Amino acid sequence: MESTTLKCGDCPLRAKYDRKPKSLAGRFWRWHINFCPGWKAYFTSLAPEEKAQLREKYSFKKYTG
């Protein structure tokens, strides 16, 4: 799943969320990461410090354990 994790790090929808979180594309991306297997693989592969930064930035509460 290496290629998926790289794509999630540079996801165009994620970039749209970062630019404009309340846009339709931004809101879709934020909703989508709650169940996306690619995002889960990407997120769980990160170092704890990076996970903490993303949790705070995106108010993401899944995969804590």
Q: What is the pLDDT of residue 3?
A: 56
Degrees to nearest 5, angle at CA 26 with 56 and 38: 70
Q: What is the pLDDT of residue 63?
A: 85
| pLDDT higher than threshold 80 for residue 1 | no
Please state the pTM of the whole predicted model. 0.84
Residues 37/42/43/44 CA torsion (nearest 10 deg): 90
Mean pLDDT value of segment 35-64? 93
As given in the structure block, the two tokens for residue 56 are 């705070």
| pLDDT higher than threshold 70 for residue 26 | yes
pLDDT in tens, 4-19: 556 888 899 999 999 9
